[in-house]
Amino acid sequence: MKTILLATSNKDKFKVVKYLLQKAGLEETEYQILSLKDVYYSAPDEKEQGSIDQRARTKAISVVNNIPNREIYDFIIGIDDGIELKGTMRENVKDHINKILFENYLEENESIIFPRAYCVVDNMGKTFEIIAKIEYKYKPKANLKVEPNSYPLSQVAAPLNSDKSLTEMDKNEANEYCWESCKDELIQLANFIKGE
């Protein structure tokens, strides 16, 4: 069995990415997929800088260079998200969370696009990078919460074909929407891992 370490402690992001990787062909019987929380790794505290693909690469390389027993992980995947609002790419989602959740920054049904960058580093140092985009529409809600290591925008982001936010949807339904939006990119990533 091969081991894949996702360079994230965000439980929501981990669950979605794990699902997508398995759906792309990385079978649970052949690939163990772990998060940084599973291996009790605490990344060096560094200010995120650069584009989402640069940050995904930095995360992957930081884990490669700092994790004990690096050799037990066949692949380390750095992941970083951006956000596209009002037609403009915003590199840091965290800078816009309060505006979106609490300051009426968006109109109802306005587009929210989440680009997610992936950087895979194998145990020989070979890399593969790709960006996948998922489009949602904004659905305002009351009584919103921001919890640590979660994805608060899932409370106001609804698939284009639904009026329910991601948190109101069944997890399988939400994951399937993600899959349909970015399956081509995830299959390419899985093929790199499988050596195809």
User: What does residue 148 show for φ and ψ, rounded to 5 degrees?
Assistant: -60, 145
What sign does the dihedral 125-131-136-139 (CA atoms) show? positive
DSSP string, 28-78: TTTEEEEETTTTT---------S-HHHHHHHHHHHHHHHSTTGGG-SEEEE
Task: Look up the CATH architecture of domain 2-194.
Answer: Alpha-Beta Complex (3.90)
**Whole-structure pTM over 0.85, yes or no?**
yes
Which residues lie closer than 8 Å to 84 by C-beta, 6 or more apart? 90, 111, 112, 113, 114, 115, 133
Question: Shortest CA distance to 17 belongs to which of 195, 193, 182?
Answer: 182
Q: What is the pLDDT of residue 46?
A: 64
Terminal C-alpha separation, the chain: 17
Kindly give the confidence (pLDDT) of every residue in the chain, 196 residues in length, as a single tens digit, with 9 standing for 90 and above: 999 999 998 888 899 999 999 999 999 999 999 999 998 776 666 667 889 999 999 999 999 998 988 899 999 999 999 899 998 988 777 788 888 998 989 999 999 999 999 999 999 999 999 999 999 999 998 888 887 766 789 899 999 999 999 989 998 999 999 999 999 999 999 999 999 8
DSSP string, 103-165: S--S-TT-EEEEEEEEEEEETTS-EEEEEEEEEEEE---SS----TTS-GGGGTEEETT-SS-
Domain boundaries defined on the chain: 2-194
